[in-house]
């Protein structure tokens, strides 16, 4: 049996959910998402950036998210994130704002703006609660009065999902379990209540048997890993620089108190030469 590609890889995710032939799969997923949030269902969607073979998974400029417009004008952006790029909330707001403002041509009236929804599926924990699916709107802090429905942000955190909780009535959990990578033996249970999910599973199996798709998948996977490694390296370097600056600040304070260079070296871990250089600089 062929090893399955990881549906959380954004290249694979877009092939499953963002192609014209699988538009019904995306619609079913979105409706389960909105149902779970107590929002009205969509009846039809138009893909604004459908998958094409020109999408290059190893290209930094690749746009592997999914954008769609519903029949009522609602705009929806769906992204899946394998690795934590940090500042996810600011990144989400930035891309939400770009999509929201893209609705108006110069000189058009603001009343033409429609609800814009950003959906983030995360392969890492983000929010400090146990809830898998969190939804945010603009509301007054004390009374909870909504300002507008135009802003809607969804965060789905796959690590919070317990795989043993296979739902018997379908719903959003079935889709998230599929994306998390539940064992293939349990697919039939998930698909019983979710016919469109069966189509998503079939698409994944077909992709997993394609040599070209597997090559593109590996290229994208390598790019994502390299990107995550560089980001983590930069953060660690920043932390190291911060620790060094902190030690130097402590050393300066101890020098000002007349503490000996030898004692300061033992207290901070800095070398005697480094401390003497600090002392010379402060004279």
User: Which pLDDT tens digit goes with each residue over 26-54?
Assistant: 999 999 999 999 999 999 999 999 987 66
The order of strands in the sheet holding 75-81 is 45-47, 66-70, 75-81, 116-122, 146-157, 133-139
Claim to verify: residue 185 and residue 253 sit in the same structural domain:
no
In the numeric block, the tokens 């058009």 are attached to: 108
pLDDT band at 228 (very low <50, low <70, confident <90, very high): low
In the predicted structure, residue 92 carries a pLDDT above the cut 90:
yes
What is the tens place of the pLDDT at every residue in 169-225?
A: 779 999 999 999 888 888 888 888 888 999 999 999 999 999 988 888 888 878 777
Claim to verify: residue 139 and residue 259 sit in the same structural domain:
no
What is the tens place of the pLDDT at every residue in 189-202?
A: 888 888 899 999 99
Claim to verify: residue 128 and residue 250 sit in the same structural domain:
no
What pLDDT does residue 64 have? Answer: 72
**Is 5 inside any structural domain?**
no
Instruction: Name the residue with higher pLDDT: 241 or 10.
Output: 10
What pLDDT does residue 242 have? Answer: 52
Claim to verify: residue 195 and residue 270 sit in the same structural domain:
no
Claim to verify: residue 251 and residue 190 sit in the same structural domain:
no
Claim to verify: residue 135 and residue 273 sit in the same structural domain:
no
What pLDDT does residue 165 have? Answer: 67
**Is 232 inside any structural domain?**
no
Q: With beta carbons less than 8 A apart as the criterion, state whether 75 and 149 touch.
A: no
- Average per-residue pLDDT for the chain: 85
**Is 75 inside any structural domain?**
yes
pLDDT band at 257 (very low <50, low <70, confident <90, very high): confident
**Is 236 inside any structural domain?**
no
| Dihedral pair phi/psi, residue 91, rounded to 5° | -60, -40
Q: With beta carbons less than 8 A apart as the criterion, state whether 161 and 173 touch.
A: yes
**Is 132 inside any structural domain?**
yes
Claim to verify: residue 47 and residue 167 sit in the same structural domain:
yes
Query: Is residue 139 classed as helix, strand or coil in its secondary structure?
Result: strand
Claim to verify: residue 205 and residue 253 sit in the same structural domain:
no
Claim to verify: residue 198 and residue 270 sit in the same structural domain:
no
**H or E element that contains 130:** none
Instruction: Name the residue with higher pLDDT: 7 or 235.
Output: 7
Q: 100 Cβ partners below 8 Å, 6+ apart?
A: 75, 113, 116, 150, 151
pLDDT band at 241 (very low <50, low <70, confident <90, very high): low
Domain of residue 184, residue span: 10-209
**Is 39 inside any structural domain?**
yes
Token readout for 225 is 């890993």
What is the tens place of the pLDDT at every residue in 115-153?
A: 999 999 999 999 999 999 999 999 999 999 999 999 999
Q: How many domains would you assign to the chain?
A: 2
Percent of the chain at pLDDT above 90?
A: 52
pTM over 0.85: no
**Is 238 inside any structural domain?**
no
Claim to verify: residue 51 and residue 181 sit in the same structural domain:
yes
Phi-psi domain of 170 (left: phi exceeds 0; alpha: psi -120 through 50; beta: other)? left
Instruction: Name the residue with higher pLDDT: 56 or 37.
Output: 37
Claim to verify: residue 260 and residue 180 sit in the same structural domain:
no
Instruction: Name the residue with higher pLDDT: 155 or 190.
Output: 155
Query: Is residue 110 classed as helix, strand or coil in its secondary structure?
Result: helix
Q: 203 Cβ partners below 8 Å, 6+ apart?
A: 15, 16, 22, 25
Claim to verify: residue 266 and residue 139 sit in the same structural domain:
no
**Is 272 inside any structural domain?**
yes
Which of 209, 235, 261 finishes a domain?
209
């Amino acid at each position: 049996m062929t090893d399955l590609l990881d549906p959380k890889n954004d290249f694979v995710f877009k092939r499953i959910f963002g192609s014209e032939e699988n538009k019904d799969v995306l619609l079913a997923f979105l409706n389960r998402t909105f149902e779970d949030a107590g929002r009205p269902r969509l009846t039809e969607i138009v893909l604004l950036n459908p998958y094409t073979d020109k999408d290059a998974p190893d290209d930094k400029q690749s746009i592997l998210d999914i954008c769609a417009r519903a029949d009522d004008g609602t705009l929806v952006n769906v992204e899946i994130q394998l690795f934590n790029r940090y500042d996810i909330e600011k990144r989400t707001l930035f891309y939400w704002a770009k999509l929201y403002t893209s609705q108006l041509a110069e000189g058009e009236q603001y009343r033409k703006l429609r609800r814009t929804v950003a959906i983030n599926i995360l392969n890492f924990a983000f929010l400090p609660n146990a809830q898998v699916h969190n939804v945010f709107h603009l509301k007054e802090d004390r009374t909870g009065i909504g300002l507008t429905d135009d802003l809607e942000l969804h965060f789905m955190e796959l690590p919070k999902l317990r795989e043993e909780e296979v739902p018997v009535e379908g719903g959003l959990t079935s889709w998230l379990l599929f994306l998390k990578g539940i064992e293939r033996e349990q697919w039939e249970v998930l698909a019983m209540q979710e016919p469109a999910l069966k189509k998503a599973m079939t698409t994944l199996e077909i992709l997993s048997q394609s040599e070209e798709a597997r090559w593109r998948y590996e290229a994208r996977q390598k790019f994502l890993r390299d990107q995550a490694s560089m980001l983590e390296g930069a953060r660690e370097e920043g932390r190291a620089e911060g620790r060094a600056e902190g030690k130097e600040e402590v050393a300066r304070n101890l020098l000002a108190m007349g503490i000996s260079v030898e004692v300061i070296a033992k207290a901070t871990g800095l070398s005697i030469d480094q401390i003497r250089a600090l002392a010379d600089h402060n004279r």
